[in-house]
Amino acid sequence: MTCARTALLAAAMAAAMAAVPMACAPAPSPAPRPNILLITIDTLRADHLGIYGYELPTSPAIDAFARRGTVFDRAQSSSAWTLPSLASLMTSTYTSTHGCWNFRSRLDDGFTTLAELLAVEGYATGGVASHTFLASSYGLAQGFGHYDEELAPTKGAQAHNAITSSRVTDKGLAWIDHRARLARRAGDADAAPWFLWVHYFDPHYIYHEHAGVTERFGSEGDRVRYDGEIAHTDAQVGRLLAGLRERGLDDETVVVLTADHGEEFGDHGSKHHGRTLYREVLRVPLILAGPGIAAGRATEPVSVVDVLPTLLDLLDVPPPPLIKGRSMRRALEGESLAPRALLAELRLFDGYHADALIHGRWKAVVDADSGVARLFDLEADPGETRDLAADEPEQLANMLQGIEVLRESAAQDGRRFDVDEGLVLDDDELDTLRQLGYVDDR
Ligand SMILES: [Zn+2]
């Protein structure tokens, strides 16, 4: 509406249109939107970080970062391996919806990802991948204007053996500097905020030794080397966060740090991940810090599906349809969250298909094929060692019904999309996945 037209209307309808001339004044510029830095670390179980109570010094940088933000004590993954978990993070849906069940799956282009939603909001979007499953062929690159997958080859021994964290940090900082140069050119006031996703891979098997680091955690064994990998990655995460601070971006950037899943060291009889849904695999770190986010801890169970609606809520953007997460914003402001049930699903290998539900103090894990179910009281038994299925049949029945309801709702949403398990992989690619532990040759 032009000012002349407004003036005419104002003259005719002086009382009713009293506020209209305001439209001719320059609109107050909206509060600048923060940049968003999403850091995911592969295979990082929460309880191997100092901020989650680990007794060894694996994570000084992450701990320092966590102290200025909100730490979620009971964050859960939606699955036990990379592809379904990160698909849940990017779409806020469970696996029964996004359909990334196995290593031939691809996230359908019909999904609206976090990166796509932020791009629509005017964000510049960048990604740094460092794991085969983040290669664009698997569909997680949707919505990224810049997506660096040099460190995420789908074939060759490098995918499995390379140590990549320092390069991930270099690439992340280089993209931030690139955005800053573009912003200066555009005139800083008009610069788009950015969303950067960096994924660190090093804690994933094979556990490499790092001279000067690994020795701090003992002499030998998988756990020692795993802790060394965490400490090595922590230093690179620290370098990324220091880079943000040195560039004066701390007050303008919301930082989210989480993991795709944890790792087993025989806790329930298995090693690595992708085979069970126990705490050592499902419980991940989740920490948010930045403008408007209080320092503190949140104890209610939350899920990787909650990250997307939380970030949108911080930007006052309404959540899209079909999502299964909910905003955690209240927790970021120091308030508590209402209880709610969370689902995790696993169909990777033949032989053990499982679903899990976490609700308040209870957790149920059910073998999806045989129907054999276990029930744990997480308050009395956080390590999930005492099966209460026989002692608490009513509680178990409630939990199993909860799994049914959430799975059916998720599966119904999934029918709107093309679930594609037809990714064609050549022998080299299969060999890479085999070395990473994702092809079951037993
Ligand atoms: Zn992973």
- What was the pLDDT predicted at 158? 61
CA of residue 225 to ligand 1 center, whole Å:
17
318: domain CATH number is: 3.40.720.10
CA of 281 to the centre of ligand 1 (A): 10
Tell me, in angstroms, the distance from the centre of ligand 1 to residue 259's CA: 8
What distance in angstroms lies between residue 43's CA and the mean position of ligand 1's atoms?
Answer: 5
Q: What's the 261 CA to ligand 1 centre distance in angstroms?
A: 6
82 Cα to the center of ligand 1, angstroms: 4
Distance 290 CA to ligand 1 centre (A): 26
Per-residue pLDDT of the chain (442 residues; tens, 9 = 90+): 334 444 433 444 443 333 333 444 555 556 689 999 999 999 999 999 999 999 999 999 999 999 999 999 999 999 999 999 999 999 999 999 999 998 889 999 999 999 999 999 999 999 999 988 988 889 999 999 999 999 887 776 566 678 999 999 999 999 999 999 998 888 766 789 999 999 999 999 989 999 999 999 987 899 999 999 999 999 999 999 999 999 999 999 999 999 999 999 999 988 899 889 999 999 999 999 999 999 999 999 999 999 999 999 999 999 999 999 999 999 999 999 999 999 999 998 766 799 999 999 999 999 988 899 999 999 999 999 999 999 999 999 999 999 999 999 999 999 888 776 667 778 877 877 777 777 665 4
Question: Which of 324, 341, 358 is a domain's end point?
Answer: 341
Mark whether 220 and 357 lie in a shared domain: no
332 and 349, same domain (yes or no): no
Q: Are residues 350 and 302 in the same domain?
A: no
Distance 304 CA to ligand 1 centre (A): 13
CA–centroid distance, 396 to ligand 1, in Å, is 30
Whole-number Å distance, alpha carbon 177 to ligand 1 midpoint, is 28
Among residues 291, 323, 341, the one where a domain terminates is 341
Residue 435 resides in a domain: no
Residues 316 and 378 in one domain: no
Ligand 1 centroid–CA 244 distance in Å is 25
Q: Do 217 and 323 sit in the same domain of this protein?
A: yes
The answer to whether residues 313 and 408 belong to one domain is no
- Residue 41: give the domain boundaries: 35-341
* Residue 9 domain-assigned (yes or no): no
Q: Quote the ligand 1 centre to 51 CA distance (angstroms).
A: 21
Tell me if the bond preceding 206 is cis, omega within 30° of 0: yes
Distance 421 CA to ligand 1 centre (A): 19
Task: Please give the Cα distance from 325 to 344 (Å, whole number).
Answer: 13
Same domain, 296 and 265: yes
Whole-structure pTM value:
0.90
For 29, 252, 326, the CA distances from 292, given in Å and listed in that order, are 19, 10, 18
**320, 272: one domain:** yes
Indicate whether 427 belongs to any domain. no
